[in-house]
Amino acid sequence: MLRTENLQIRRGQKRVLTNVTLDVRPGEVLGVLGPNGAGKSTLLAALCGELAATEGQVLLDQQPLNQWKGVERARRLAILPQTSTLDFAFRVEEVVGMGRLPHQTGTVRDAEIICAALDAADVGHLAGRSYLALSGGERQRVHLARVLAQLWPGQNGQTLLLDEPTSMLDPLHQHTTLKAIRTFADRGAAVLIILHDLNLAARYCDRLLLLEEGHPRALGSPHEVLQPVPLKAVFGLDVLVQAHPELGHPVIIAR
């Protein structure tokens, strides 16, 4: 399990993240919300060890993150960055196959996993194509398949960190992708996901963290966090919150 207590990150003199206490629990999807520059990606970078904490530390299974051996850590923790740059004409399944690098499960098992991960991210039909020939949204889903393959099938003790995995997707694929992530968490993995779409967050996340200028403003269930007052305070946006007529989760409408 990934947890952090009183995490603080400075860049120069500026505190870009303060007082974040968080655990990403097995089986849950934890959404991180906040306006641009609120520290969402900084939080993600700190949680995966890319940024060193000025105060506090990040623990993976009770052990500080930087004490883990690379391969051991990679089997428990996978990160999907906002954008990936890959300028070489790998085939789609080769890109996804890179997710299996930390494992020694053998080519047969790896091929099964790659296939399953491709299907989970709804890119199975792209197998055999060159990565460079894909659209932005297709590339984003291929990288999602890669990090899913890295932790496949997903179980208790594994954590997946996702930075806006739906930013380039069409409406249908925003939902299919989040459903796939939801399914992944239901098998026991812990998922932390940065989202901009409040309604997607309301529908697919178990808990939400609302960040405001590096401070956690609210942490709780979508019903608790997605209230007009905190949303107005953090985003400066007047909203109506209603219940989804069929599913009951909050629906946020700008006034």
Partner 1 sequence: MRTLVKPRPLFIGLSALCLLAIWLSLALGPVSLPLFDTLRAALRLVGVPIHGEGLEQAELILGQIRLPRTLLGLAVGGVLALSGVAMQGLFRNPLADPGLVGVSSGASLGAAIAIVGGSAIGGLPEAFGPYLLSLCAFLGGLGVTALVYRLGRRNGQTSVAVMLLAGIALTALAGSTVGLFTYLADDATLRTLTFWNLGSLNGASYARLWPLLFVTVGVALWLPRRASALNALLLGESEANHLGINVEGLKRELVFCTALGVGAAVAAAGMIGFVGLVVPHLVRLLAGPDHRVLLPASILAGATLLLFADLIARLALAPAEMPIGIVTAFLGAPFFLYLLLRGRH
Cα distance between residue 252 and residue 255, in whole Å: 9
82 binds partner 1 (CB under 8 A): no
Enumerate residues 141-170 that contact partner 1 by CB under 8 A. Answer: 150
Cα distance between residue 164 and residue 252, in whole Å: 19
Which of 6, 66, 101, 155 is in the footprint of partner 1 by CB under 8 A? Answer: 101
Which of 39, 81, 165, 222 is in the footprint of partner 1 by CB under 8 A? Answer: 81
- What is the CA angle 42-46-50, rounded to 5? 100
Cα distance between residue 48 and residue 35, in whole Å: 21
Long-range pairs for 176-179: beta carbons < 8 A, 24 or more residues apart:
176/122, 177/121, 177/122, 177/141, 177/144, 178/203, 178/204, 179/204
Which of 82, 130, 167, 227 is in the footprint of partner 1 by CB under 8 A? Answer: 130
Q: 130 or 167, CB closer to partner 1?
A: 130
Options 65-73, 111-119, 179-187, 207-215: segment touching partner 1 (CB under 8 A):
65-73
Question: Which residue is it, tokens 């007052």?
Answer: 229
**Residue 98 CB, nearest distance to partner 1 (Å)?**
5
**Residue 124 CB, nearest distance to partner 1 (Å)?**
17
Options 64-72, 182-190, 211-219, 237-245: segment touching partner 1 (CB under 8 A):
64-72
Cα distance between residue 117 and residue 111, in whole Å: 10
Q: Which two tokens stand for residue 128?
A: 């055999």
Question: Which residue is it, tokens 């990606």?
Answer: 41
Options 24-32, 63-71, 221-229, 244-252: segment touching partner 1 (CB under 8 A):
63-71
Instruction: Give the H/E segment covering residue 208.
Output: strand 207-212
Site of interaction with partner 1 (CB under 8 A): 48, 50, 69-75, 77-79, 81, 84-91, 94-95, 98-99, 101-102, 128-130, 133, 150
